[in-house]
Amino acid sequence: MRKNNDFQAGSEKDNSFSDALSSALGIDKVKDSTFFSIDDCLEKSVSGLVEIYFEKKGRNGKIATLVDFNKMDGGDLFSMAKSLKKLCGVGGSLNGSVLLLQGDVRNKSEAFLSDLGLKTKRIGG
């Protein structure tokens, strides 16, 4: 049996599934794919020191960048971590106040955090 691949998506106005989902979630209009931006991170005033370092230990020789927000005051860590991962184009996880980013992205993360007005400190090599 052969599949018929003549499916064509309708316009956004005709998408009943999207309308049902947005009404169930209580969302007036669904945003585009950019969920978090720098403006979301700057809603609250942030200050303090952020430590950036990398390590290979315990990761099969793969490099991971760690961003430590322990000495930071204010700000939403979850949205900041989301936007930082998206900017660097890598995966990662937020455990408590330490963000683990896959790969060596210290330069990008340091530039992003300094744009937010945070002081950054590189620890290690």
Per-position b or e across 91-114, b if 16+ CB within 10 A of its CB:
ebebeeeebbbbbebbebbbebbe
> CA-CA distance, 56 to 62, in Å (whole number)?
5
CA atoms within 13 A on the CB side of 108: 15
Domains parsed from the chain with CATH numbers:
38-122 (3.30.780.10)
Q: Tens digit of pLDDT for each residue in 57-71?
A: 888 889 999 999 888
51-110 tens-digit pLDDT: 999 888 888 889 999 999 888 776 788 888 999 999 999 999 999 889 999 999 999 999
- Beta-strand ranges (E) seen in 1-125 are 47-55, 64-73, 92-95, 98-102, 119-122
Strands 47-55 and 119-122: parallel
Number of Cβ within 10 Å of residue 119's Cβ equals: 13
Nearest-angstrom CA–CA distance, 125 and 122: 8
